[in-house]
Structure 1
Amino acid sequence: MTLVARFEDGTIRLDGDPDPAVVDVLPVEFDDRSRTLRAPAHRYAALRRALDDAGVDYEDRVFDLPSLDLSTSYDLRAYQREALEAWESADRRGVVELPTGSGKTVVAVGAMAALSTPTLVVVPTVDLLTQWRRELETEFSVPVGQLGGGEQRVEDLTVATYDSAYLRADELGDRFGLLVFDEAHHLGGEGYRDVARLMAAPARMGLTATFERPDGAHTVVADLLGPVVYERSVDDLAGDHLADYELRRVEVELTPEEREAYEDAQGTFVDYLRTSNLTLTSGSDYQELVKRSGSDPRAREALLAKQEAREIMMNSDAKVAALSRLLDRHRDDRIIVFTAHTDLVYRLSERFLIPAVTAETGASERRTILDRFREGTYSRVVAANVLDEGVDVPDASVAVVLSGSGSEREFTQRLGRILRPKSDGRIAICYEVVSAETAEERVAERRR
């Protein structure tokens, strides 16, 4: 009896009565409810290979997709062609890891043109949703659908936010032959994984500047999309395809009042660690401290002290003075200022009359600010985290990191904001302003 494979509610259903010996080598499980064999939808390609290798006669009714007429005018750079070829050689599955500003979108557009199959592009933010839709509408003469940002329209080429794709994954699982996940590390999030799990598309491409996650969830992404098949670092591309750059550290001193408050708060925190069997060298230790703070007054005092010390060293008066000097030094350059705290963003915005972008900034206002930054009406902008990734940030030549975490991903994304090649060949500069003789020195080392 010929087996029949169908897509059903985020799974591949296998109807028929295969030889038990064959079932043992297939990536399937028996479903008591339907009395059929099933595999998660994302195992579709593996199931086909297993059936072929076993010499099983089967009928594939999973997809009935049109062939699109897609062509691109992009002239891929050498490394972009290499990335596309590496992905194709890996059975059209895998992650491409390239720095911010190096043209990861171009690699995906090349894949879409090569396959000419219905494609779903999944992105983390509405800003990227708009950017991708505009790009695809310009490049391909076909309608482009949108899921998210107030629209729910499916076309053969569709762009969706992770949230919208998650809500409709089981419904759309047989609608697309190619999945493209921008900022693919987000797919490691517990809920978002289902976007890839419930869809049968055999061709899958992940795009990211920073694949590995501190929580190890990048291994899940590799299982759903394939491993990293091509990677290049900032240093690999700087000079030829990205701007040459310099990293400059500016150390500033706390005022006597800040130093006294910092040492007092830091001392409270360190004293607790000495007696708590916690080292805070791992995320689990910090989670344990937060957990204890709910019932242990000393743990709560230590946690609050740690936060106070962090705010003092990251928002010191000397940092504001250092920024003033840097803004004056680079008065003719386009500058992005990054901080870790929203309060400091507003303080700097008021002090230097710089447009501010925070999580509280509405989408329309943010677009207006970035458009004016792009066209040169504004020459500088200050932001708290929201411009790190998932936003189409106009070209700048100077970044000032006043404060941030020890995350290598965060730092790489911020550096990438100034690395697009400059028409005049100028070198991009990233300043790190660090409070001397504080824990911020170790934070800065970690993120590098």
Structure 2
Amino acid sequence: MERALSTFIQLGVVREKDGTITVWEFAKEFDDDEIEYSEFLWRGIKQSWVLAGNFPEGIEGLRQTHYVVTHAEAPLSSTEIREQLTEQFDYEYNDAGIRGYPELLTQLEALRQTEDGYVPGPRSSTFEGRWRGRANVFFKLERWLHHRGPTVDVPRDTIKKALMKYYMYRESGGWGRHRRLYNRFLEDYIRETSRKSDVANPQIHLSEEYHKDEDPREDLRDDIKEKFPGIDGQELGGLYPDTLEDILAADTEQEAREIRATASPGISRRDLQSLVDETRDPYTPPADFSLFDWQQEAIDQWFNDDDSTAESGIAQVVTGAGKTVMALGAINEWLEKHPDGAVTIVVPTKVLMHQWLREFIEKLNVPPSDIGWAGNGHKDSHGECRIIVSIVNSAVKDDYLRTSLREANTDEHLLVADECHRYTGDVHSQVLKYPNSATMGLSATPLSTINPEEDELTEDDELLLDNLGALFYHLNYEEGVERGLVSEFTINYVGFELTPAEQHTYEQFSKKVSSAVQDIEARYSHRLGELHGSYPQKLQTILQTSDTPTPAISDFFEYTQRRRELIAEAVSRQAITHRLLESAIEQDKKSIVFQERIKQLEQMVAPYDHRDEETQTGKYGSKESGRADLYRQYENELDEVNRDLEDLFFKGSYAPVMYHSGHQNDEWNDWAIEWFRDDGFANVMLSVQALKEGVDVPSADVGIIRVSSGNVRERIQTLGRILRTGNDPDMPSTLHVLYARDTVDERIFEEVDWEAEIGGTHEYYKWETGEEVIKGELVGPSPEFEPDVSPYQPPEIPDVSDLERGDPYEGPRRGQTISVNAEGRPFRDTEDGRKFITTPKIESVAEYVYRLRGGGRIIINDADHMITVTEEGPVFLGVLESNSFEYEEQEDDEVPESFEDFVS
């Protein structure tokens, strides 16, 4: 009986107050047979889940379950429903499975269960309308912002903040306290009489201010068409009311079109025409326009006639300094010198394509008939336009760019590759190989290294340099600050220690990595020296080209990845980030927090009990069993840190937004940018990676790299995301970089001398935990906390004239190896299989290793010293007098001598 009552209370068909069970008015109608059971059940759900706010996410679960069944081609079982919900809505489930949604929908007659599975029920169409109605309050407010824009007056900012927090908290796995946030916008959106009335048929009536703020767009569009007859309604579709009001307030149709063109997410030929300045000649800048000194220097360098590489090369320019305008100046001059030439600008995104098109008109007054674009369902050609701006996907699809250039009927072609570091993959790199006579690459981080003249280049680096040309101009952050192009900045490096449990696991992973490296170098030392690229890239090449690669390569990738994840998930990052955010908020500073993965962002939002067990953002959510085990070791302290983060999230002074690629509705990213730009709205942006090129991210006072890949290119891009540029370069910015001390996290300090290369002020701090393990205080700045990045000093070569076989050895242990099998026979694994060595001295040494260890390895270092490693350490075996070995001849049909030889 208790269980039945609990179910009825949860469904809302009865209510409990002060220990007393009563029924709603609509229950009496059901008891009097005035309404059907399905209708009685729906009214209870509407009353409890919606109006009382007891289970609002349940409405969304019902809607999505109903959707996958009604859109299926055949009946679906419960398991298939679950699979479809996961695939289509990134749904995550707790132990309750799909929470009884199919059964409840069956009771509502929205679905019907057959022997083959669930199918639409007799009231299916009724519920399709209800899901689109006011029952899903969050969805309705989301649609409200979609139609009216994120800066609309209704709802007011406090309600929009609650809406964003609710969304972030729920998507990050939050449970329980999200009801407080939901109730804030529920009470604002739904009239009080609807929420508190006990009536036979509960109704969802909007509050008065939402009734008053009916969608004004239709009236505004009519007024615009009346004022400017040349503008039709189709051109005004999809625009927010604020934009429509600005268009209506324009004095001329030309001005109205300019407003429309700059506000619209798309672009049309008419939009470009509206941006043309009829008062100045084509291909001329505005009268008050002038290039920065560096821009003219770069253009002159690119055209340097004394150099055989003139009209080619890559400009490496700090973000925000104006490299697009520099390129426009070069393009304009190139077209003057090559009047029959064709120009292609390749970009990675639609946003950048639109920016370039507008810049061509606004900065150079290019006639719209001269410029075209390829992307977003539109394709012009060089046969019609001398300038084409193309998204890279469109450029290479079906060989579009090559075909387009043929139509230009000219050998003079300038290829401009914006964000050129994005075009090194097998597919996108084709765009660099189409016919051209001049090239220009643009990027703040074109190469994987800051010092291409000193460091080893990757294959991607060489591909860019071979196809675009050498770096012809470099403007780094330090010079950008000196020229007043970007703000002054400070980088604070915050080092922390791994916890004892993390350190133990880290050391275990490191041992496995070292073991894998020894195996790899023993077998492939000759190939590794011949291959180009980083160590992992060399191993990938070996994997792809070898028929029987050693399993050690897979072990290397597995344990380096697991080690990286361990460092990225280090629990101290939580406490440090909380302290830095709290400080920034107290000082009224805007912050961006950078992570590598969405689940790391969710750890900054959701409460502990769901943060470390499961998350709600579908494919990005996962059960972190290892992290849960770690929690149990530091339960009280980590729980306190996590609760501090959660409490900060719910403070009124903390106004966060989040930006990542995992939204089902990408508009949340657009709104996040807009709200972060508004100084009176959001003060923290939680982001994943360094945000996309072309996204106009408002500058910030503080950046926090909570988790970083350690990639040099990403570090520079991240710095560019927080620096103020243009009209506000005088406001300083601070970037905090968190790293685990005495781990591979410190390698980025070895790869780059950051102070010398990018300038700025660099400070070093330590997270001091004292008697605690996780919580602590920032100590510093102090030079003593700077990581020790002195070059590796190999062990000295010892004098072995007095050493005998079996003596301890203190020299280098790395080098080529010979294996000794279980019978004491020395051999080498080669591409042609196992080859046994018959050189007498090697056989003698192998016999000793067999008696000493029962088999193992003989290591021959660069000094030709032979050693083996025992539990007590390295042991000297002798000096190799010749690297030429004799091998046993073995016929193809020879029977293996042992089972070990057979299986190998």
Q: Match of 1:191, as an amino acid?
A: V
1:415 aligned onto 2:719: yes
Q: Deviations over 1:42-100 (max 9, x none)?
A: xxxxxxxxxxxxxxxxxxxxxxxxxx921223421111111111112254332222111
Alpha-carbon separation, structure 2, partners of 1:259 and 1:93:
50
Task: Label 1:366 to 1:156 Cα distance change in 2 as closer, same or farther (>3 A).
Answer: farther
Task: Label 1:399 to 1:194 Cα distance change in 2 as closer, same or farther (>3 A).
Answer: same
Alpha-carbon separation, structure 2, partners of 1:113 and 1:288:
43
Q: Match of 1:417, as an amino acid?
A: R
Q: Match of 2:698, as an amino acid?
A: P
Cα deviation, residue 250, structure 1: 0.5
Task: Label 1:388 to 1:312 Cα distance change in 2 as closer, same or farther (>3 A).
Answer: farther
- Name the residue aligned to 1:69: 282
Alpha-carbon separation, structure 1, partners of 2:556 and 2:468:
42
Contact 1:346/1:356 (<8 A) preserved: no
- Name the residue aligned to 1:442: 747
- Name the residue aligned to 2:404: 172
1:127 aligned onto 2:351: yes
- Name the residue aligned to 1:309: 563
In the TM superposition, 1:24-423 aligns within 5 A as 69-73=282-286, 74-90=289-305, 91-114=310-333, 115=335, 119-139=343-363, 140=365, 142-143=367-368, 144-154=371-381, 155-167=385-397, 168-174=400-406, 175=408, 177-200=413-436, 202-213=437-448, 214-239=457-482, 240-277=484-521, 282-287=535-540, 300-331=554-585, 332-350=588-606, 352=649, 354-361=656-663, 363-376=666-679, 377-385=681-689, 387=691, 389-421=693-725, 423=728
Cα deviation, residue 249, structure 1: 0.4
Q: Deviations over 1:299-323 (max 9, x none)?
A: 5455333222211211212112111
- Name the residue aligned to 1:29: none
Task: Label 1:121 to 1:103 Cα distance change in 2 as closer, same or farther (>3 A).
Answer: same
Task: Label 1:295 to 1:180 Cα distance change in 2 as closer, same or farther (>3 A).
Answer: closer
Contact 1:102/1:420 (<8 A) preserved: no
Contact 1:249/1:433 (<8 A) preserved: yes
Alpha-carbon separation, structure 1, partners of 2:667 and 2:284:
33
- SS in structure 1 opposite 2:373? strand
Alpha-carbon separation, structure 2, partners of 1:126 and 1:220:
25
Cα deviation, residue 156, structure 1: 4.1
Cα deviation, residue 102, structure 1: 1.1
Larger Rg: 2
Contact 1:121/1:158 (<8 A) preserved: yes
Alpha-carbon separation, structure 2, partners of 1:435 and 1:288:
31
Cα deviation, residue 248, structure 1: 1.0
Q: Match of 1:173, as an amino acid?
A: L
Contact 2:496/2:739 (<8 A) preserved: yes
Cα deviation, residue 372, structure 1: 2.5
Choose the corresponding residue for 1:430, options 727, 735, 741. Answer: 735
Alpha-carbon separation, structure 2, partners of 1:199 and 1:295:
39
Task: Label 1:302 to 1:89 Cα distance change in 2 as closer, same or farther (>3 A).
Answer: closer
Q: How many residues align?
A: 380
Alpha-carbon separation, structure 2, partners of 1:106 and 1:430:
27
Deviates more, 1:397-406 or 1:274-283: 274-283
How much is the aligned-residue C-alpha RMSD, in angstroms?
A: 3.1
Cα deviation, residue 246, structure 1: 1.3
Unaligned runs of 5+ in 2: 1-280, 449-456, 529-533, 607-645, 650-654, 755-904
Q: Deviations over 1:187-219 (max 9, x none)?
A: 44333333233234x343221112324524334
Cα deviation, residue 251, structure 1: 1.1
Alpha-carbon separation, structure 2, partners of 1:289 and 1:402:
34
Q: Match of 1:235, as an amino acid?
A: E
- Name the residue aligned to 1:27: none
Alpha-carbon separation, structure 2, partners of 1:404 and 1:151:
37
Alpha-carbon separation, structure 2, partners of 1:338 and 1:80:
31
Contact 1:406/1:446 (<8 A) preserved: no
Cα deviation, residue 327, structure 1: 1.1
Task: Label 1:138 to 1:349 Cα distance change in 2 as closer, same or farther (>3 A).
Answer: farther
In the TM superposition, 1:10-21 aligns within 5 A as none
Alpha-carbon separation, structure 2, partners of 1:150 and 1:386:
28
Q: Deviations over 1:22-44 (max 9, x none)?
A: xxxxxxxxxxxxxxxxxxxxxxx
Contact 1:268/1:305 (<8 A) preserved: yes
Alpha-carbon separation, structure 2, partners of 1:132 and 1:428:
28
Deviates more, 1:403-412 or 1:357-366: 357-366
Question: More strand by proportion, 1 or 2?
Answer: 1
Q: Deviations over 1:352-407 (max 9, x none)?
A: 47433333346543333223222333322222225164533322232211222332
Cα deviation, residue 141, structure 1: 5.2
- SS in structure 2 opposite 1:355? strand
- SS in structure 2 opposite 1:93? coil
TM-score (norm 2): 0.39
Task: Label 1:134 to 1:372 Cα distance change in 2 as closer, same or farther (>3 A).
Answer: farther
Alpha-carbon separation, structure 2, partners of 1:367 and 1:131:
16
Task: Label 1:159 to 1:394 Cα distance change in 2 as closer, same or farther (>3 A).
Answer: farther
Q: Deviations over 1:233-290 (max 9, x none)?
A: 2112224222111111001222333233323333332333334427996233542697
Alpha-carbon separation, structure 2, partners of 1:129 and 1:349:
34
Contact 1:169/1:199 (<8 A) preserved: no
Contact 1:70/1:112 (<8 A) preserved: no
- SS in structure 2 opposite 1:160? strand
Of the two structures, which has the highest relative contact order with CA contacts closer than 8 Å and spacing of 6 or more?
1
Q: Match of 1:385, as an amino acid?
A: Q
Cα deviation, residue 220, structure 1: 3.4
- Name the residue aligned to 1:39: none
Unaligned runs of 5+ in 1: 1-67
Task: Label 1:160 to 1:78 Cα distance change in 2 as closer, same or farther (>3 A).
Answer: same
- SS in structure 2 opposite 1:173? helix
Q: Match of 2:516, as an amino acid?
A: Y
Alpha-carbon separation, structure 2, partners of 1:359 and 1:429:
26
Alpha-carbon separation, structure 1, partners of 2:712 and 2:575:
26
